Structures are given as structure tokens and as C-alpha cells.
């Protein structure tokens, strides 16, 4: 006879209970980088909307920034670290293959013997982690989970590359996800197009790099380290094609209309993409549109939670407001959902 395996009941509804952010100390204005890419402040602002970005110092590590943001998120949720049942870190810029950052973040936050793991989904990473956390809580796998989007993209920038040296930046945003009396995280709309993987990529794999280093040691040459490369036109066209459909799907799946939204928080990739999306979606005039890219830059997996924190801290939005979030980028991949905005610390 087949043994009866017990099922652990989960939560009927989930929401984001608390939000935290960490922005590196160093602010880098356009004036500091224009000479290396033979550009100008006006050129950068016109094409991206960026006036400055944050780049991490040596002591502002992936782990350290995640811990700082995570601690604030737990505080905002009104919970103790020992109540958190696991940590999911979304990042694509760790300089080591393992172990996963999640376990170290959990331990440094005082969470004992809980699972900690990482996901790599580029700029859509935070929204992917949010799906995992919400579904795990609904399934009874955990009651509370901490998710973190964190990047140190400055480690992977060729500072002479005119196509992306001015775009990418560093930072961390974190959220506690848990059960709720009413729904606070809508169904996800997500997808990918692997045929366009080269549009945002690391320009060489580490096997190739290691072979080049070995050749240098033998012949006295120079091995160029791997960098991020981006085909901006390809990304823009893909975003224009896929993201309107994705945004509408997320709102439809939540049983809402665009008129029900208070806030729109797209990935802070480029202000021109945000402007194009806002127009094509025909968003209400009174909706708050996140513009954190102006002073934070593109922080990939950290972008959504940092932009969420910015609209809340500025007072343009309030906890309890209804927001559409949509992450998109390397993969090429996207993921988004409608959420109720949380308290922040």
C-alpha cells in the first residue's frame, strides 16, 4: 500500500510585509565618466535619463549590501530575524561561482539553519525571486521569506565602453514576503526570448578567460578580463515588442485595469523605455511613475526594490498603494506582477 505523505497547509494570500534598501556611499556624476567614453553629460541624460549612479567601494560587497538592505526589510516588517524561514538572493554579478550568497546573508542576519540560495535572472531577478517566495509561502514551505536583489555591476564595466559604461550601477534592495488576510501579490506575467541572449551578455566565458591567462603566463601577453556588453538598439526594440503585452497581462491576471493602479515601477533600464511604456499603456495622468534611474542608474536585480523604496521615501506613493512592477533585461527575460506597496525602513 502506498504510504500517505502529509501535506503542509500554506497561506491563502501573500504580500510584501517590509522593504529595505542600500545605496553605496559613492555617487558618480556624469561629469566623472564622460572623458573616458568621449561623451557629454547632455548625451548621457538624453539617451538614458541618468545624471549620476552609485558605485560600491571595496567594503560594500554583495553580501554586505544584501545584509544591510535585508536588516531594514525585516525591521520594516516588524519581525525578528529568527522568524524568517529562508533567504533568496537575486544577482548576476557575484565574482565567485559559489557558495550561494543566500546562506551567508541569512547567517549574518542571525537566521539559524534556514535555506539560502541564489537566482540569476538578470534585471528581472527580483520579480523572479518574488514569485518563488510567494508561491513557497502559499505551498506551506515557509511562513516568512526574505528576498534580496543586489548587484555590483561596476565590477563588470569596461569604463571606456560608450554603449554601457554610463548605464550600470550598484546597490541592494530587499523585501520580506509573508502571509496576508487579503491578496497583496498578483499572479506573475513572465517569459523569455533566448534567441536574443547576446543583447546583454558577459563578453567571454571564464573558460576562455582562463585560457587567455594561461597564454599570457606562457608568452608575456595581456589577458582582457570579461565585461558586460550590450546592444542597446536590440534591447529597446525587444522591450517595445514584449513589455506592453507583459504589463497588460500582469494587470489582467490581477483582475484589475490600468485605472486601478496608483504606481508604475518598471525596471530602471532607461528613461526612454519607461516613457515609451507609459505612453503605449495609456496610463492615467495621476499615476506615479518611478524615475529612480536619474540618480541611481541601472542596478539590474536591485532596480525594482530600490525604485520602490524611492517612490515611498519621497512621499510620491504610500504603503498600501497598488503598484505594477515589471523587471526585464538580460536573457532576454521579463517578469512582473501587481503588488500592494509595503512599509519601508
Residue numbers annotated as active site: 123, 267, 298
Alpha carbons 269 and 273: distance in angstroms, whole number: 7
Helix, strand counts (H, E) of the chain: 9, 14
The 3-state DSSP class for residue 7 equals coil
DSSP character for 188? P
Alpha carbons 251 and 263: distance in angstroms, whole number: 12
Nearest partner of 250 among 323, 186, 164, 176, judged by Cα = 186
What is the DSSP secondary-structure string of 286-341?
T-EE--THHHH-B-GGGHHHHHHHHHHHTTSS-TT-EEEEEEEETTTEEEEEEEEP
Written as nine digits, the cell of 158 is 569596461
Amino acid at each position: 500500500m502506498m504510504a500517505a505523505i502529509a501535506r503542509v497547509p500554506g497561506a491563502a494570500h501573500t504580500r510584501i510585509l517590509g522593504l529595505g534598501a542600500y545605496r553605496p556611499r559613492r555617487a558618480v556624476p556624469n561629469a566623472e565618466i564622460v572623458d573616458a567614453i568621449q561623451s557629454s553629460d547632455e548625451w548621457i541624460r538624453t539617451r538614458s535619463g541618468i545624471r549620476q549612479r552609485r558605485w560600491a567601494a571595496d567594503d560594500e560587497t554583495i553580501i554586505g549590501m544584501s545584509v544591510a538592505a535585508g536588516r531594514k526589510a525585516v525591521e520594516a516588517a516588524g519581525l525578528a530575524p529568527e522568524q524568517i524561514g529562508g533567504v533568496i538572493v537575486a544577482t548576476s554579478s557575484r565574482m565567485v561561482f559559489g557558495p550561494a550568497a543566500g546562506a551567508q546573508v541569512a547567517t549574518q542576519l542571525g537566521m539559524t539553519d534556514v535555506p539560502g540560495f541564489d537566482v540569476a535572472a538578470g534585471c528581472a531577478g527580483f520579480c523572479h525571486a518574488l514569485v518563488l517566495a510567494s508561491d513557497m509561502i502559499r505551498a506551506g514551505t515557509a511562513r516568512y521569506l526574505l528576498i534580496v536583489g543586489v548587484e555590483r555591476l561596476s565590477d563588470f564595466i569596461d569604463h571606456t565602453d560608450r554603449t554601457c559604461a554610463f548605464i550600470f550601477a550598484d546597490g541592494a534592495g530587499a523585501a520580506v514576503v509573508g502571509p496576508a488576510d487579503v491578496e497583496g501579490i498578483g499572479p506573475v506575467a513572465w517569459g523569455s526570448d533566448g534567441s536574443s541572449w547576446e543583447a546583454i551578455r558577459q563578453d567571454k566565458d571564464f573558460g576562455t578567460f582562463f585560457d587567455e591567462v594561461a597564454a599570457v603566463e606562457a608568452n608575456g601577453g595581456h589577458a582582457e578580463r570579461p565585461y558586460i556588453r550590450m546592444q542597446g538598439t536590440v534591447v529597446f526594440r525587444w522591450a517595445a515588442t514584449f513589455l506592453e503585452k507583459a504589463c497588460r497581462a500582469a494587470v489582467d491576471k490581477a483582475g484589475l485595469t490600468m485605472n486601478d493602479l496608483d504606481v508604475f515601477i518598471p525596471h530602471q533600464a532607461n528613461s526612454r523605455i519607461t516613457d515609451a511604456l507609459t505612453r503605449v499603456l495609456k496610463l492615467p495622468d495621476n499615476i506615479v511613475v518611478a524615475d529612480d534611474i536619474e540618480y541611481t542608474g541601472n542596478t539590474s536585480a536591485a532596480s525594482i526594490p530600490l525604485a520602490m523604496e524611492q517612490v515611498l521615501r519621497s512621499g510620491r506613493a504610500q504603503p498600501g498603494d497598488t503598484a505594477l512592477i515589471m523587471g526585464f533585461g538580460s536573457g532576454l527575460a521579463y517578469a512582473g506582477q501587481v503588488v500592494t506597496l509595503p512599509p519601508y525602513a
